[in-house]
Structure 1
Amino acid sequence: MARFHPLAVAAVEHLTDDSVALTFAVPPALRAEYRHAAGQHLALRRSVDGTEVRRTYSICSPAPAPADEGPRTLTVGVRLVDGGAFSTYALKEIAVGHELEVMTPAGRFTLEPAPGLYAAVVGGSGITPVLSIVTTLLTREPQARFCLLRSDRTSASTMFLEEVADLKDRFPDRFQLVTVLSREEQQAGLPSGRLDQERLAALLPALLPVDRVAGWFLCGPFGLVQGAERALRELGVARTRIHEEIFHVDAGTAPTPATPAPAHSTVTARLDGRGGTWAVQDGESLLDAVLRNRPDAPYACKGGVCGTCRAFLVSGEVRMDRNFALEPEETDAGYVLACQSHPATEQVELDFDR
C-alpha cells in the first residue's frame, strides 16, 4: 500500500532554465519501503492555500541492486509547467534541507534487467524514467544493449544531457544514442524537426533491427508517444513489446458519456485490508467517493495519466473518461483508473489491494 513519508531534500541541481533535479535522502528505516524498480515514479504533495496538491515525477536514479537494503537517495526530474503550482515551487523555492511529503514508489513502466536489445523513444522530460531504466539495465546486465532516440527543442533545453553523455562514455559498445532537436540544427546527426509517425516509421528501421528489440519504451508528450506507437505497429511490432508512459495530455480529450449514470449508485472499496460501502454523488468519480470516506486512497494526478489510483473492478460496470496509464492487458484483466471511473450500474465494487 502506497504511503507518504517526509523526506529531506539532499541536493537541488538546476538542469536547464526550466528544469531541476531534486534528490531526497532516504533514512535507513524507510529504505525498504522506497525500494523501486527502474522506471517507477514518486508522488509529491504540499498544501497550497489549504488545498492539497499532488504531482507525480519519475525517478531518474538507478534502481537498487537486489542485495541492497534499498536506496539511500532518490532523484526525480521536474520540468516547469506554465502556471504549475508544484513545478514553480520546485524550481524557485525548494532548497537543501527542506522536507517534502513523498509517496512510496509506484508505476509499471518498468524493465527488469535481462539480456537482449531494448530501445526507447522519448521527448523532453520523458527522459527521466528511461535514464533510470538504461542505467540500471546496462550496469546490471552485461549482455544487454540499448538504443535511445530522444527528441528535445534545443540543446539548452535538454534535461540530463551530461548524464546521458556519461552513459555513452561508460558503455560505448552497448549504448546507442540518437538525438533530434525540433527547433535547432545540429552540426552532425539527424536534421531538425518533429518526430511524427511518418518520420519514425522511416527512421527506426535505419537505426536498429526493429524486429529484434525485446522491449520498446515510449515516454513523453501524448502526441509523440501516440505517433511512436503507431509507427511501431506499422512496422509489425507486437503490442505486448510496447510500453508507454505519457507525461502530458491536452485538456478536452475526455469522450462524451455513452450511457447515463444510474440515479443512485454506491461504491464498495477494499483498501489496505479494510472495506466499506458509500454513496456516489452525482457526477462524482469513484475515487472522489472513496476519498470522502478514506482519505488514504492512493492517487496523484487525477488526470488518467499516472496510474496511481489503479484498482480491480470486482463487480459492476464503470465508464472511464480517459485512460493513458493502463495497458490493454490490464483493462482486459479488469483493472480501472478510479479517478476516471464513474458508475454505470447501481453497485460497483473496487479492490485497491490487488
Structure 2
Amino acid sequence: MFHPLRVSEVERLTDDAVAVTFAVPPELREAFRHTPGQHIALRRTAQGEEIRRTYSISAPAGADPVLRVGIRLVEGGEFSTYALKELAVGDTVDVMEPTGRFVLEPRAGHFAAVVGGSGITPVLSIAATLLAREPAARFCLIRSDRTVASTMFLEEVADLKDRYPDRFQLVTVVSREEQQAGLPSGRLDQERLTGLLPALLPVAEVDGWFLCGPLGLVVGADRALRGLGVPRGRIHQEIFHVDDGVAGTAATAAFATAAARAPAHSTLTATLDGRSGNWPVQEGESLLETVLRSRSDAPYACKGGVCGTCRAFLVSGEVRMDRNFALEPEETDAGYVLACQSHPATAEVELDFDR
C-alpha cells in the first residue's frame, strides 16, 4: 500500500547520489516500521506515466522508524534524475510500505557482507541495527566502490567503526584509483575474493553472508563463498544493478523458449488482498500485466525481476520466468514466482499474492 509522505531532508552524499528522508506521521509508524535490510518503492507520475522505483532503507530499524533511502543517479533513469535534480524538502512522494527478505533480525553471531556501490544501503541498516541491539554480535563489511569520492555513506560507516572498534571490521577497495593505505585497487571478482576472504576472517565461522550490489559482484562473491565451502543457506543476495546487455540476451532466449511452448489460450486466477479474479492472458504479456489490467493495486516496483515486490505463490498450473534475480532457490522450490517475469505454460494458472 502506498502513502503520501513529505520529504523532510535531502542530503547530498556524492556528486551522483543523495539520501532522502521522509517524515512518517504517528498514525503510520506501525506501517513503516521496517526490518533491517528491507526496501520501499517510490511512485510518481510524469507526463501521464506512472514511474515506480525501489530503494533500500539505510537507517537502523527502531520503534520510531526513520525512513531514509540512498538514491544514486542512473544514466537515463527517470526517477533518480528527478530525485537528484528536482526533489526538495516539503515535496510529497507516494511511498509503499517496507518489504523485502534481504534481512537480518539481530542475534548473536559473526556476520559479514560484500557490497558494491549503492549496495551499501541495506547493509548499513543491517550492520547498524545488529551492533546496537546485540552486544554479542560482530560484523565485517567488505565494500567496493569506483573511487573514494563516489563512496556513499562514508560518514555513517566511519561512525560504526568508531563506535564499535572491537566488533566492526571494515575493508574498503576502490576499482579506479590507487589508495595510500588498504588493499590494492581493482575489482572484487571471484578469483580475488577466493584469496582475500580467508585472509580477512574465518570464513567457515561466519553465521551469515550478505551480498549486495551489481550482478557481477554478487555472482562472483557467491561463487567464491561456495568454493570455500560456505553452505547456500548462509548466503543472502540482493541485486542492485543488472547489465541489460547480458541479462537481456538470456531473457530474450528464455522468452522465446517459453513462447514456443506456451498454450494458445491461458486463463489466470489471482488472489490479492483477499479478493480473487479470473482473466484471460493476452499474448506476450506477463502475469503481472494480466492482473494490472483489472487490479491496479497489484504489487510491483521494478518489473525487472530484481526487487521481488511482485512475488506470488503458484497455487496451480505451470509458469516460466524470463529472469529471476530476487528469489532465493528455497523460495522457488517452495512454489514462489515473480509475476512480472512469469508467463503461462499451462492453460490454467493460479497465483496467490497474499501468501
Matching residue of 1:198: 191
Q: How does 1:231-246 map to 2 (within 5 A)?
A: 231-246=224-239
Alignment partners' CA distance in 2, 1:98 and 1:258? 46
SS at the partner of 2:257? coil
Alignment partners' CA distance in 2, 1:213 and 1:280? 46
Matching residue of 1:85: 78
Matching residue of 1:134: 127
Alignment partners' CA distance in 1, 2:116 and 2:353? 31
SS at the partner of 2:207? strand
Q: How does 1:207-218 map to 2 (within 5 A)?
A: 207-218=200-211
Check if 1:20 corresponds to 2:36. Answer: no
Deviation at 1:261, TM superposition (A): 1.2
Cα deviation code 1:43-84 (max 9, x no counterpart):
0011111010000000000111xxx3x41x300000000011
Matching residue of 1:317: 318
Matching residue of 2:69: 76
Cα deviation code 1:105-129 (max 9, x no counterpart):
0100000000010000000000000
Matching residue of 1:181: 174
Amino acid of the structure 1 residue aligned with 2:141: L
Alignment partners' CA distance in 2, 1:49 and 1:76? 25
Alignment partners' CA distance in 1, 2:33 and 2:18? 23
Alignment partners' CA distance in 1, 2:33 and 2:150? 30
| Length-normalised TM-score, structure 2 | 0.97
What is the number of residues matched between the two proteins?
347
Check if 1:150 corresponds to 2:143. Answer: yes
Alignment partners' CA distance in 2, 1:333 and 1:63? 29
Higher helix share: 2
Alignment partners' CA distance in 2, 1:149 and 1:107? 22
Q: How does 1:1-354 map to 2 (within 5 A)?
A: 3-64=1-62, 68=63, 70-71=64-65, 73-251=66-244, 252=248, 253-254=250-251, 255-256=253-254, 257-259=256-258, 260-354=261-355
Alignment partners' CA distance in 2, 1:298 and 1:152? 32
Cα deviation code 1:130-163 (max 9, x no counterpart):
0000000000000000000000010000000011
Q: Which sits farther off after the overlay, 297-306 or 250-259? A: 250-259
Alignment partners' CA distance in 2, 1:195 and 1:310? 30
Alignment partners' CA distance in 1, 2:313 and 2:83? 34
Alignment partners' CA distance in 2, 1:46 and 1:279? 29
Write out the 4+ residue segments of structure 1 that deviate beyond 4 Å after TM superposition. Answer: none
SS at the partner of 1:230? helix
Deviation at 1:35, TM superposition (A): 1.0
SS at the partner of 1:258? helix
Amino acid of the structure 2 residue aligned with 1:344: A
Which runs of 5 or more residues in structure 1 are unaligned? none
Alignment partners' CA distance in 2, 1:84 and 1:274? 35
SS at the partner of 1:155? coil
Cα deviation code 1:144-191 (max 9, x no counterpart):
000000000100000000110000000000000000000111111100
Alignment partners' CA distance in 2, 1:13 and 1:182? 25
Q: Once superposed, what is the RMSD of the aligned Cα atoms?
A: 0.7
Alignment partners' CA distance in 1, 2:137 and 2:38? 20
Alignment partners' CA distance in 2, 1:152 and 1:182? 6
Query: How much identity, in percent, do the aligned residues show?
Result: 77
Alignment partners' CA distance in 1, 2:139 and 2:96? 30
SS at the partner of 2:131? helix
Alignment partners' CA distance in 2, 1:178 and 1:163? 15
Deviation at 1:258, TM superposition (A): 3.0
Deviation at 1:247, TM superposition (A): 0.6
Deviation at 1:250, TM superposition (A): 1.5
Alignment partners' CA distance in 2, 1:305 and 1:286? 16
Alignment partners' CA distance in 2, 1:86 and 1:29? 27
SS at the partner of 1:227? helix
